[in-house]
Structure 1
Amino acid sequence: MYSSTSQDPTAAAIRLSHQAELTEALADILQRQDLLIRLCKSLIRYGAPSHRIEMAMEAMCKTFGIDGSFAFMPGLMMISFGDSDTHTSETHLIKCAQGFDMGRLARVHKIARALVNGDLDPGEALATLKDINSEKPLYNTWVMLVSFVAYSGFIAPLIFKGSWNDMLASMALGAVVGLTNLLATRYSVYSSVFEVSTSILIAFVAKALRDYVCFTGVVLSAIVVLLPGLSLTTSIMELSSRYIISGSVRMFYSLIYCLFLGFGLSIGSNLWDAFKEPPPGDLRMGYCHPATEPWRWILFPLLGVALSIQLYASPKQWPVILICSSVGYGISELAGLYWPHTLHIAAAVSAFVVGLLGNIYERITHELAFVPILGSILLIVPGGMGVRSTLLLLDESGNASQGTAFALQMILVALGIAVGLFASTLVVYPRKCPVA
């Protein structure tokens, strides 16, 4: 009797201790899984490439000792956590639209790096992530609208070789694109026809101003923020990294998106021609006279600032974006002189130099290389893909070979950019890529 009564309190204490340990361990596991889900979703929302996200998440799973697997498709994130002891698994399907916010992406990247290196507690990281996700955008609606106007206007003489009249017309039409984009974000019904309706309106107005501006330069400058060159380049990078599903889906979407834009531009152009007979010969596309060369170097910093605002980059990120984009633009222009008929080579050389600068910047400062690289690639893509390829959609001959050349040109330029970026990463990180 004495033995049993003396052991009961001890056994109860042991059981309570085990229960407390199990509860604490379970709470810790759930907290880390919640952290991984929120971190993964934040990386997608703020614009990190999907093939780099999976590498970062796998590294953090190893750090936390969690059995997790991740799969991405545009707009959908699939996360599965397994338990080898109980032979059970838990799968999360999360719809998450991808956007761009370079300021918050850089802060999330620092959190991911600190977690992998063991410099940050998971609880503190989760609280910091919640604060970042709850913040308001860095720039309000009016600032973004002004950036639409500036970006469309300054890119006309710099990338699309437009005149001063083209720049002013592109600014006005860029404001229209910004307003319709704001309308599409607020009303989901209109978002389904946003691209086509905007392209029709832009092409109709630009064709009406054909006697004063260059039609093709103005319409492409006005809708430059809608061109899916970056999405196509990302799809090539995903396919090269063996992410077959997400790369194939993104590539197909990019090609169909280009057809949407070309369809709208063709309708708007032909709609004005139905009201007024088009002039013969070269005047069909308007008066195309490039602006004087020295002004391009003055306008480029303004274009870089407008691009930084479009990407929601913080002011401290503006200098590195401007430097890398200036170098990329200069290399692209110089390479275009030596390889005028092989744009994919010029794109590959420019992307390699930009990627080299971006990765060296990351290695020295431990900041995110994707921020300056993205700003530079966005300026390489329109000049190579927007002008030379989209013009084939506007051609009225209807030649099937031109449609084939359009698709091939887009893929080749995107492939050149992807190869250049991968080669630059291999040079700077020959053994192991950075975490995120």
Structure 2
Amino acid sequence: MEQRREFILKLAKALLSYGAPSHRIESQLAMVSTILEARVSFVHIPSIIMVSLGDGGTKTTQTHFVRANSRIALSNLEQVHAITREVCRDKIACDTGTELLDNVLSAKALYPLYMRCFYCFICGSIICATAFGGSVIDMWISGACAAFLGYLSLSPTTQQSSMIDNVYEISVSIFVSFVARALSTIKGDLFCYSAISSAGVVHILPGFTILVSALELTSRNIICGSVRMVYAVIYTLFLGFSLTIGSDLYLLVNPRARQEYLHPTPPKLSYFHGGLTPMNGTSVGMPVTGTFGFANLTTDAMHHIYKGCFRDPEWPWWRHPFPWWTLFFLVPLYSTCSSLSNLQNWRSRELYIMVLFSCASYAANTASNLYLPDRGDIVSAVGALVIGSLGNAYSRIWGGTAFTSMVTGVMFLVPSGIAQAGGLSQTYQSSAAQYTSGFGLAIRMVEVAIGVTIGLFVSQIFVYTWGKKKDTAHFAF
């Protein structure tokens, strides 16, 4: 019995450490304790699992607090799920399973810091082009900002200092917005503020947190769901206001840029000197002579705005968004780098499954957006329905891990849904519009998360309505 309890405690530590779906942790642990015939009860709150171990002989109860900082590690989650399955099916003993879990928990990170920063650079560059309408030169800047942000989030110095760890995300958001606004004010409109600032901070967007909170609320886990939801919404407001502060800070230190920003360039005029004689077909009016200026208002800059970026048709190709056919290799590349940045082993078969499911979800998301524009919730639900059906079918038919195969595609739905709903940062002309947009960003995040939640739960109904019941806990969204 003591070996079984030790295995359950190690399993709780592993699930909490590697980003297991929080609304499934209690059911996963309860199912394992039932199979192992251990009298254990669980209470899960954010970052903590309270484990109560009952002893029928002495009528006593021991309570253990399992605490860990959650960070997604896909390969480690697959190993933990495989070990749990082997123990529950009596293929290995509990003490052997505990040793294997110890080895997983004590293992070093799969990739070094510089490789993970490189993956962040690729992801930031591609999401700038695919979701926010960035050009080739915008990709480099947004990728560098994403790599810098990834370095700060993964650096041991940041993790060891509580003061830096609490403020670096907001500080970097201000810096990214400051740099993006400075580059966007260069004459010639070489850089797009909206694309660079949005893609540069998309790595810290709490979309996954809002999704998990929506899943917890749907699963009636009220405490964890409400706490995470409030945190994610307030954090999103901080992020939106930080982008506004960075932009306004540069306009404050550069008065000329502020003047050009608030007063748009007047239309170009073609001047002619001569006379005009008005005629209506029956009589001739008084002639008018002098210098006349003509402007083509149909070619105003607003007619060439694409996802918040001005794109003149006469510009060369490297200043325009990528054509649609480039998505056939940009989306798989992004999905691959996103999986690797979440510590998926590049030699495993699961990596190809993740990329395939992510591409299918993005294709469904993009196709539905053509027929339902400006409906981020419904569009995200369609993409989630596709990837949820594929992931659950993969787990049910081929015995794979549903959660890890779906993470990459689900995390891709969040920035795509935000971009289709208007993006993270835009151009404002008043402080009221800035605050309205800050709250609007949080609302868009919640809408996308609710759509993804509905799609994931409906997909489970499609897959698990028929067939035999699972002999282990459901390890999926």
1:110/1:232 Cα in 2 relative to 1: closer, same or farther (>3 Å)? Answer: same
Distance 1:414 1:122 in 2: 38
C-alpha distance after superposition, 1:249-305 (max 9, x if no partner): 111111121122112211111111112233245799764542222222222222122
Distance 1:144 1:386 in 2: 24
Distance 2:399 2:251 in 1: 55
C-alpha distance after superposition, 1:171-218 (max 9, x if no partner): 221222123222523433211111111101111111111132211111
2:131 and 2:419 in contact (8 A); partners too: no
2:413 counterpart of 1:363: no
For residue 379 of structure 1, the aligned residue among 387, 397, 412 is: 412
Query: Which residue of 1 is the match for residue 335 of structure 2?
Result: 304
Which amino acid is the alignment partner of residue 58 of structure 1? A
Distance 2:426 2:47 in 1: 28
> Deviation of residue 411 (structure 1)?
1.8
1:120/1:386 Cα in 2 relative to 1: closer, same or farther (>3 Å)? Answer: farther
Correspondence 1:124-203 to 2 at 5 A = 124-181=96-153, 182=155, 183-203=157-177
2:378 counterpart of 1:349: no
Distance 1:63 1:286 in 2: 57
Distance 2:148 2:420 in 1: 21
Which amino acid is the alignment partner of residue 92 of structure 1? H
Query: Which residue of 2 is the match for residue 428 of structure 1?
Result: 463
Distance 1:176 1:327 in 2: 30
1:148 and 1:174 in contact (8 A); partners too: yes
Distance 1:202 1:403 in 2: 17
Query: Which residue of 2 is the match for residue 339 of structure 1?
Result: 372
Q: Secondary structure at the match of 1:294?
A: helix
Query: Which residue of 2 is the match for residue 59 of structure 1?
Result: 31
> Deviation of residue 114 (structure 1)?
1.7
Distance 2:367 2:458 in 1: 20
1:40 and 1:57 in contact (8 A); partners too: yes
Distance 2:88 2:465 in 1: 20
> Deviation of residue 342 (structure 1)?
1.5
C-alpha distance after superposition, 1:68-116 (max 9, x if no partner): 1112122112111123443321111222111111001001001111222
> Deviation of residue 136 (structure 1)?
0.9
> Deviation of residue 36 (structure 1)?
0.4
Indicate the structure with greater helix content: 1
Say what the alpha-carbon RMSD is for the aligned residues.
Answer: 2.1
Distance 2:419 2:62 in 1: 44
1:154 and 1:167 in contact (8 A); partners too: yes
1:74 and 1:98 in contact (8 A); partners too: no
Distance 2:344 2:438 in 1: 37
Gaps of 5+ in 2: 265-300, 312-319
Distance 2:359 2:252 in 1: 42
Query: Which residue of 2 is the match for residue 50 of structure 1?
Result: 22
1:212 and 1:287 in contact (8 A); partners too: no
1:46/1:394 Cα in 2 relative to 1: closer, same or farther (>3 Å)? Answer: farther
Query: Which residue of 2 is the match for residue 320 of structure 1?
Result: 353
Distance 2:365 2:420 in 1: 14
2:12 and 2:66 in contact (8 A); partners too: no
> Deviation of residue 345 (structure 1)?
0.7
Distance 1:365 1:272 in 2: 55
> Deviation of residue 392 (structure 1)?
6.8
TM superposition outliers: structure 1 runs of 4+ over 3 Å: 280-289, 389-397, 399-408, 431-434
Q: Please give the TM-score of this superposition, normalised by the length of structure 2.
A: 0.81
Greater shift after overlay, 183-192 or 237-246?
183-192
> Deviation of residue 44 (structure 1)?
1.5
Q: Please give the TM-score of this superposition, normalised by the length of structure 1.
A: 0.88
Q: Secondary structure at the match of 1:348?
A: helix
2:176 and 2:197 in contact (8 A); partners too: yes
Which amino acid is the alignment partner of residue 462 of structure 2? V
Distance 2:374 2:178 in 1: 31
Q: Secondary structure at the match of 2:432?
A: coil
Greater shift after overlay, 240-249 or 288-297?
288-297
> Deviation of residue 386 (structure 1)?
5.5
- Corresponding residue pairs, total: 408
Distance 2:432 2:46 in 1: 32
Distance 2:353 2:109 in 1: 21
Query: Which residue of 2 is the match for residue 398 of structure 1?
Result: 432
1:320 and 1:372 in contact (8 A); partners too: yes
Distance 2:422 2:225 in 1: 21
Q: Secondary structure at the match of 2:240?
A: helix
Distance 2:86 2:422 in 1: 43
Q: Secondary structure at the match of 1:192?
A: helix
Query: Which residue of 2 is the match for residue 207 of structure 1?
Result: 181
Distance 2:200 2:442 in 1: 22
Distance 1:261 1:122 in 2: 45
Structure number with greater Rg is 2
Query: Which residue of 1 is the match for residue 217 of structure 2?
Result: 239
Distance 1:156 1:425 in 2: 32
Which amino acid is the alignment partner of residue 307 of structure 1? S
Greater shift after overlay, 157-166 or 324-333?
157-166
Distance 1:383 1:69 in 2: 40
For residue 415 of structure 1, the aligned residue among 422, 446, 450 is: 450
